[in-house]
Chain A
Amino acid sequence: MVGVGFRRDFAADIISGKHITPDFIEFAPENWMHIGGNWKKILHQVVEKYPVLCHGLSLSVGSPEDLDRDFLRHVKQFLEDYRVQIYSEHLSYSKCDNAHMYDLLPIPFRMDAVRHIAARIRQVQDFLQRPLVMEIVSYYTPVAAEMSEADFIGEVVRQSGCQLLLDVNNIYVNAFNHQYNAREFIQQLPLDKVAYIHMAGHTQVSQDLIIDTHGEPVIDPVYDLFEWTIQYLKPVPVLLERDFNIPEMQELQQELNRLKTICQKQWTSQNELVA
């Protein structure tokens, strides 16, 4: 399954299915909860037409403070109402001192942070009665790290029992920004826990820094990394994210087609080997 991030900018195109036909769509529950009027009608139309996966923005699992129980209750209801198949979130924090920041801040790679986050993920999973799929985020600087990023992620997965969202572009961006080998990094991850993949474009802002903008097409080296990576994975849903600088739908469809071709190539041959 290869899907696309559902955005209001091209909602009508997704619903019409004329120029773009994803296998599923993904959106942030926060952007669609407690909404009425036109947007609610559009939400119902799209949910009737496509399977839905949700990718949260405001859970802030890495926050130092308590989880927002009221928010979680609304999320749970929303996921049930719209029969959402996967709920993923970010391995980062976006709220601190009781203030939302609406962006993803890097968590210190430390063992006490691992224990703290793992406990919070377990609480969320218990409450939602479903596994949480945690995305490895892009980051532009580590902060007060006492362990490697791969160890940090591995420990969070091990202690929480969560699944992983592997954003291949994020790994590419992080490897570039922090000068490590993306393939070696991926090989250190608990790949059997990968339940979902994201693909996106980025913007290089200086000689040594890439920002994860989701505003450009996916570049060839990221496709290469994706193709290399999925040979180690069981088949999982793959999402194309495009949040800004939205192109013609035919262009997005071409990207979906390319991803689909790679999936078929890698995962079909994998299945043949198993058979």
Chain B
Amino acid sequence: MNLLPDTYRIQQRFSAYCRSGNAVKLPGVTPGRLKHYRRLVFNVINDIMEDGFPVAFHHIPARKWNKMVKDFFTHHACQSYQVWKLPLEFYTYAVEQNWEEVYGIPYLNDLLAFEWAETEVYNMEDIPAAPFQQGGNWLETPLVLNPEYRLLAFRYPVHLHGDATELVQGKGAWFVLLYRDPETGNVQFTDLSPWLAFVTEQLAVGITLKDILEYAPQLGITLTDTLERDTLAFLQQMQRQHFVLGFQS
């Protein structure tokens, strides 16, 4: 290391000021100019979070939102060299700091997770699908699913409602499937029942629908013709929507 401790400390103090905005004395600075760095740096972070969480930004009062972003940037050492991934760090920080309770927003974690998942699925690296064919037995042939997806479990229906009251009243067990349409590249999401979430999870690891249905009674679900018919209808619908790609070849 060629850098002298004094220069090192000056660079640390400058960057700490940019992150926190807490007053700092640095040698040889032009009076009144330091604040522009804090403003510019903070605006970048603020913009990233606004773009990454448009719904949360819209619904959380400005005072709380600003406090969150300031807290995050001051105390969290941002690790991603790609700005589009920074919202994940914000979401993770919110969970670690228990912001749901701190800010009295019980659905905050779910909302941030949902918005991050949309960004992630849209941008994520391409994942090649397993070989598949168009024809097969829906019950006995393992299905090949679009691998570019996220299956999320929420306590609040953040994918269905934007209104805080509706969200709080809707507390329960919610499941959402997000996937990237291989033809358009757009992210689609669909609300799933707990059963269909379970089916999706099992299909993804190669279990056949027949085996999954046989397991239903162990989940307390009565195995009926309707269950089989509705599950098949869902999967066929998802094939038309490019989530079920075909049958294992």
Contact = CB atoms under 8 A, between A and B. Distances in A.
A36 B11 CA distance: 36
Contact of B123 (A39, A100, A145): A39
A101 B1 CA distance: 22
A178 B30 CA distance: 9
Question: Chain B: interface residue count, which band?
Answer: 35 or more
Contacts of B26: 143-144
A33 B16 CA distance: 28
A62 B14 CA distance: 13
A37 B7 contact: no
Contacts of A9: none
A38 B26 CA distance: 46
B7 A110 contact: yes
Given A34-B82, A64-B8, A108-B7, A97 B14 contact: no
A194 B77 CA distance: 35
A68 B79 CA distance: 11
Interface string A87-116: 000000100111111110111101011011
A101 B18 contact: yes
Contacts of B77: 97-99
B29 A142 contact: yes
A140 B37 CA distance: 8
Contact of A112 (B7, B27, B122, B124): B7
B78 A112 contact: no
A141 B29 contact: yes
Interface in A113-169: 113, 115-116, 119, 140-145
A57 B29 CA distance: 24
B146 to A, nearest CB: 12
B81 A58 contact: yes
Contacts of B18: 101, 103, 105
A40 B16 CA distance: 36
Interface stretch (B40-48, B152-160, B226-234): B40-48
A135 to B, nearest CB: 17
Given A37-B126, A140-B33, A144-B26, A101 B81 contact: no
B70 to A, nearest CB: 14
Interface of A: 30-31, 33-41, 57-58, 62-64, 68, 71, 93, 96-103, 105-108, 110, 112-113, 115-116, 119, 140-145, 178, 205, 209, 211
| Nearest 4 pairs of A and B residues by beta carbon | A38-B185, A99-B77, A141-B33, A96-B15
25 contacts: A30-B82, A30-B83, A35-B123, A35-B125, A36-B124, A36-B125, A38-B122, A39-B123, A57-B81, A64-B7, A93-B15, A100-B80, A102-B45, A102-B83, A103-B18, A105-B14, A105-B37, A119-B2, A140-B36, A141-B33, A143-B29, A144-B6, A144-B10, A211-B36, A211-B40
Given A93-B11, A103-B37, 13 more contacts: A36-B124, A36-B125, A36-B127, A38-B186, A58-B81, A98-B79, A100-B79, A105-B14, A105-B37, A112-B4, A140-B30, A144-B6, A209-B33
